[in-house]
C-alpha cells in the first residue's frame, strides 16, 4: 500500500531526452511509460498496449506519439489510441493516463485520482532556481522498502558507523536529537557545538577558504514531507558564530535532497543530491561532492538491501524502537494516517 494522491519524483529530464526511446518506470506498483508529446511536454500512460498487452516502453516515440514496438499501434499522450497500421481505431479502449509535471529539474507524477492532482502542491525546491546554489545528484535503484530509507535518513546516528570515513563522528551519538511533528511534516534536529569537522566537511571548509581544523558548530536538520521526501539541512560554521544562523562567510551549508519513490513494496528509486550554498560557480567542486556523496549513499544501500533481506525472511519478527528511531517512527505514522484517509 502506498499514498497515491501525491506527487512523486518519477524521473529526471535527461532520462527521457537521450534518444527516441520512452522511459518505462514503475511507481507505487503501477507500471508507467514516460515520453514527450508533440508540444514537448512530458506525459505518462500505463505501460500496457491495449492491443495485446505489450509494454509500450519497448516502443519508440515518433513525432510526439508512442508507437508500440509489437504491431505499431500509435498511442497519444492522453492514453487514447491515435492510429494503427491497417486498423480502424475508433473503438479501441483508452488506457490510463497519469498527471505529470516537469518542474525544478525533476519529472513529477501523480499515481492517484487524476482529478485530485494539483500542480501547485508539488514540493517547493527554493534552491532549484537560485543562482546562489549549486545542485549535483543522481539516481539509485534500491532493493528495499522505501520506508527503510526514510528511517535511515531520519536517524543520522548511523553516520558514525556506516560513514565513518566521511561524515561520521562520535559526537553525533552524543548529541541528543529533538523530534517535532509539524502537521504532516516531521523534523528531527541535532546540533554539535565546538567539534572538529569530519573529512567531508573539512573539504567543504577548505573549498570555502575557511580553516579546516578550527572548531566548528555542526547541524543536521532532517525534514520529512509526505509522501516520501526528506530534505536535510546540514553544515558547519566556525564555532561560536551562530551555527546554522551564522553569516554565510563563516559557514559551509547545504541541503541534502532525498526523493524516495516506491517502485514496489520492497524496491525503490532513490533520487539523491546536494544543493550547496557555498561556491556555487565551482563546477569541479560540484562534481567532487557528487562523487563523494554517491560513495556515501552506496554505503547505505549495502546496509539497507541486506536489512530488507533479513526483514523479508522473518516478517513476523518484532523490532526494537529506541529514542534514535523517533524521526522514522513519526514519519511512518504520517504515511499511515494519509493512507487511511485515502482508504476511507
Ligand atoms: S501489442 Fe501493441 S500493437 Fe500489438
Ligand atoms: Fe547514510
The pocket around ligand 1, CB under 6 angstroms, is made up of 49, 51-52, 54, 68, 70-73
Measured by CA distance, the residue closest to atom 4 of ligand 1 is: 71
What residues contact 269, with CB distance under 8 A and at least 6 apart? 9, 10, 25, 27, 139, 140, 141, 142, 260, 261, 262, 263
Nearest CA owner, ligand 1 atom 3: 71
The answer to whether 8-121 and 134-343 have equal CATH topology is no
3-state secondary structure of 62: strand
Average pLDDT in the 68-91 region? 96
* 340: phi then psi, degrees, rounded to nearest 5: -60, -40
For 127-141, 169-183, 211-225, 298-312, which range has the lowest pLDDT when averaged over its residues? 169-183
Name the helix (H) or strand (E) containing 336.
Answer: helix 326-343
Q: Give the fold, CATH level 3, of 134-343.
A: Naphthalene 1,2-dioxygenase Alpha Subunit; Chain A, domain 1 (3.90.380)
Q: How confident is the model at residue 323 (pLDDT cuts 50, 70, 90)?
A: confident
Grid cell of 209 as nine digits:
577558504
Point out the ligand nearest to the CA of residue 84.
1
For residue 35, how far is its CA from the centre of ligand 2 (angstroms)?
Answer: 33
**Residue 146: exposed, middle, or buried by beta-carbon count in 10 A (0-12, 13-18, 19+)?**
buried
Residue spans of the domains in the chain: they are 8-121, 134-343
pTM, two decimal places = 0.96
Distance 150 CA to ligand 2 centre (A): 11
Provide the 8-state DSSP code for 114: G
For the segment 85-110, the average pLDDT, to the nearest whole number, is 97
Separation of CA 180 and ligand 2 centre (Å): 21
Q: How many CB atoms lie within 10 A of CB 316?
A: 4
The Cα 144–Cα 301 span in angstroms is: 9
pLDDT in tens, 105-151: 999 999 999 999 999 999 999 999 899 999 999 999 999 999 999 99
Residue 168 pLDDT: 86
Report the pLDDT averaged over residues 310-321. Answer: 95
Q: Which residue did the predictor score with more confidence, 157 or 59?
A: 59
The architecture CATH gives domain 8-121: 3-layer Sandwich (2.102)
Ligand with smallest separation from the Cα of 33:
1
Contact criterion met (CB below 8 Å) for 210 and 250: yes
Q: How does residue 22 score in pLDDT terms, banded at 50, 70 and 90?
A: very high
Give the residue, by CA position, lying nearest to ligand 1 atom 1.
52
Say how many Å lie between the CA of residue 162 and the centre of ligand 2. Answer: 7
Amino acid at each position: 500500500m502506498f499514498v497515491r494522491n501525491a506527487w512523486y519524483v518519477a524521473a529526471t529530464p535527461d532520462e527521457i531526452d537521450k534518444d527516441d526511446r520512452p522511459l518505462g518506470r514503475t511507481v507505487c506498483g503501477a507500471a508507467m511509460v514516460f515520453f514527450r508529446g508533440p508540444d514537448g511536454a512530458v506525459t505518462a500512460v500505463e505501460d500496457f498496449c491495449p492491443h495485446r498487452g505489450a509494454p509500450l516502453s519497448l516502443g519508440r516515440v515518433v513525432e510526439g506519439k508512442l508507437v508500440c514496438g509489437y504491431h505499431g499501434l500509435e498511442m497519444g499522450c492522453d492514453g487514447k489510441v491515435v492510429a494503427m497500421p491497417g486498423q480502424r481505431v475508433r473503438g479501441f479502449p483508452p488506457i490510463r493516463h497519469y498527471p505529470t509535471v516537469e518542474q525544478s529539474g525533476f519529472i513529477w507524477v501523480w499515481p492517484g485520482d487524476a482529478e485530485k492532482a494539483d500542480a501547485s502542491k508539488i514540493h517547493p525546491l527554493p534552491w532549484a532556481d537560485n543562482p546562489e546554489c549549486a545542485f549535483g545528484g543522481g539516481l539509485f535503484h534500491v532493493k528495499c522498502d522505501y520506508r527503510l530509507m526514510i528511517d535511515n535518513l531520519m536517524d543520522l546516528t548511523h553516520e558514525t558507523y556506516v560513514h565513518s570515513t566521511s561524515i561520521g563522528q562520535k559526537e553525533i551519538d552524543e548529541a541528543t536529537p529533538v523530534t517535532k511533528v509539524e502537521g504532516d511534516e516531521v523534523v528531527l534536529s541535532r546540533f554539535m557545538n565546538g567539534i572538529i569537522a569530519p573529512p567531508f566537511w573539512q573539504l567543504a571548509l577548505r573549498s570555502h577558504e575557511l580553516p579546516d581544523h578550527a572548531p566548528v558548530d555542526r547541524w543536521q536538520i532532517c525534514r520529512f514531507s509526505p509522501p516520501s521526501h526528506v530534505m536535510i539541512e546540514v553544515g558547519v560554521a566556525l564555532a561560536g558564530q551562530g551555527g546554522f544562523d551564522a553569516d554565510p562567510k563563516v559557514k559551509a551549508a547545504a541541503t541534502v535532497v532525498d526523493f524516495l519513490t516506491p517502485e514496489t513494496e520492497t524496491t525503490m528509486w532513490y533520487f539523491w543530491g546536494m544543493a550547496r550554498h557555498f561556491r556555487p560557480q565551482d563546477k569541479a567542486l560540484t562534481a567532487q561532492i557528487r562523487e563523494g556523496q554517491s560513495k556515501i549513499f552506496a554505503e547505505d544501500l549495502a546496509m539497507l538491501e541486506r536489512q530488507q533481506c533479513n526483514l523479508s525472511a522473518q516478517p513476523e519478527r518484532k523490532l526494537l524502537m529506541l529514542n534514535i528511531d523517533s524521526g522514522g517512527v513519526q514519519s511512518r505514522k504520517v504515511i499511515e494516517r494519509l493512507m487511511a484517509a485515502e482508504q476511507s
